[in-house]
């Protein structure tokens, strides 16, 4: 079987496509300069197959791939979802891929629903495309738009377009310079409570009151339009978690780790409240405890 040799220029080509994980088959070999280039560009090298090819010794920074479905974070040994304003684009692409995988496997995103974005160091926005499952998305399928929504860098597949919900993401970034990550998804329990009850109660579960204070629900708006941006305009300045009426949720964070934690907590709280309502006789927290929580949050 013919062998494939990758050079440092090949690694640069992978980086330009936004790829942060490179899986090497047993018939693929890298030059020394290619290994060094991969390390310098933050590309994680993974060795496919259970056995180390005898003709290609495994380097200290080359890991074997795990079973299908193993997270990139576990393979790279770090939390990809945590980042700073200076984190390079390649790492942010990996963070979005990992967020999509986690949300999809947790049932927080289904089918090709939902969208994810992060703010890049240069102020542009890295965002998911329309029509792609976030559980199977690849780094090269992400796009870069500017704060006005103009396409800066297309996806590797030119047919892919930015999510139709991009006006909502851009509205968040315009109002909130502290926010570097946005997740929009169509939760089951939180959405059901918003539809049927018109609220997510904060007077039952202490963690909910302490985490959110309140979760506002917007008016009705047309999905995939500028109406969603208009619906959140008066709320996003003071809230990191918002429900869009009869549609879904919006969670914000300094990074994707924070935004995903808020998303997970919102759905967990909503699920607990739903079961409590079904059982009947929901007991709210004592007024003095709610007051103490409110005072704690002001500090």
Residue whose entry in the numeric block shows the structure tokens 């890295």:
126
Q: Give me the pLDDT at residue 59, please.
A: 44
pLDDT at position 114 over 80: yes
Question: Total domain count for the chain?
Answer: 2
Tell whether 50 and 102 lie within a shared domain. Answer: no
Residue 203 to residue 40: CA distance in whole angstroms? 50
pLDDT in tens, 156-172: 899 999 999 999 999 99
pLDDT in tens, 24-48: 776 777 787 888 788 778 787 776 5
pLDDT at position 65 over 50: no
| Best CA proximity match to 133, nearest among 173, 105, 155 | 105
- Percent of the chain at pLDDT above 70? 88
pLDDT in tens, 66-93: 444 445 455 455 688 999 999 989 889 9
pLDDT at position 64 over 50: no
Residue 278 to residue 272: CA distance in whole angstroms? 10
Residue 122 to residue 182: CA distance in whole angstroms? 17
Tell whether 44 and 114 lie within a shared domain. Answer: no
Tell whether 179 and 104 lie within a shared domain. Answer: yes
Tell whether 166 and 30 lie within a shared domain. Answer: no
CB atoms within 10 A of CB 101: 20
pLDDT in tens, 173-222: 999 999 999 999 999 999 999 999 988 998 999 888 888 888 999 988 88
Domain membership flag for residue 272: yes
C-alpha to C-alpha distances, 181 to 172, 176, 223, nearest whole angstrom: 9, 10, 20
Domain membership flag for residue 79: no
Q: Give me the pLDDT at residue 237, please.
A: 97
* Domain enclosing residue 150, as ranges: 89-298
Region 245-263: mean pLDDT is: 96
| Best CA proximity match to 204, nearest among 127, 291, 272, 112 | 272
CA-CA-CA-CA torsion sign (230, 169, 162, 120): positive
Q: How far is CA 145 from the centre of its chain?
A: 17
DSSP code string of 232-280? HTTTTTT-SEEEETTTEEEEEESSHHHHHHHHHHHHHHHHHHHHHHHH-
Domain membership flag for residue 73: no
Domain membership flag for residue 104: yes
């Amino acid at each position: 079987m013919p062998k494939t040799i990758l050079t440092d220029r090949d690694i640069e080509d992978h980086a330009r496509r936004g790829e942060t994980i490179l899986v090497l088959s047993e018939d693929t070999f890298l030059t020394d300069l290619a290994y060094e280039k991969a390390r310098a560009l933050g590309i994680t090298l993974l060795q496919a197959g259970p056995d180390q090819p005898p003709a290609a010794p495994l380097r200290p920074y080359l890991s074997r791939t795990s079973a299908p479905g193993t997270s990139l974070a576990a393979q790279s040994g770090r939390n990809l979802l945590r980042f700073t304003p200076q984190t390079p684009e390649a790492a942010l692409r990996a963070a979005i891929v990992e967020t999509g995988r986690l949300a999809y496997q947790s049932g927080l995103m289904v089918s090709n629903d939902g969208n994810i974005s992060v703010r890049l160091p240069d102020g542009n926005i890295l965002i998911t495309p329309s029509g792609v499952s976030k559980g199977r998305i690849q780094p090269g399928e992400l796009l870069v738009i500017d704060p006005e929504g103009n396409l800066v860098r297309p996806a590797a597949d030119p047919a892919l377009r930015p999510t139709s919900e991009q006006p909502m993401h851009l509205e968040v970034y315009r109002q909130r310079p502290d926010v570097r990550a946005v997740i929009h998804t169509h939760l089951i329990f939180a959405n059901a409570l918003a539809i049927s009850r018109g609220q997510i109660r904060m007077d039952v579960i202490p963690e909910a009151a302490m985490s959110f204070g309140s979760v506002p629900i917007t008016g009705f708006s047309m999905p995939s339009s500028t109406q969603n941006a208009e619906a959140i305009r008066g709320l996003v300045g003071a809230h990191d978690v918002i429900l869009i009426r009869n549609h879904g949720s919006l969670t914000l964070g300094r990074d994707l780790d924070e935004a995903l934690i808020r998303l997970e907590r919102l759905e967990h709280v909503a699920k607990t409240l739903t079961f409590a309502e079904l059982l009947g006789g929901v007991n709210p927290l004592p007024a003095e405890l709610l007051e103490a929580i409110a005072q704690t949050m002001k500090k």
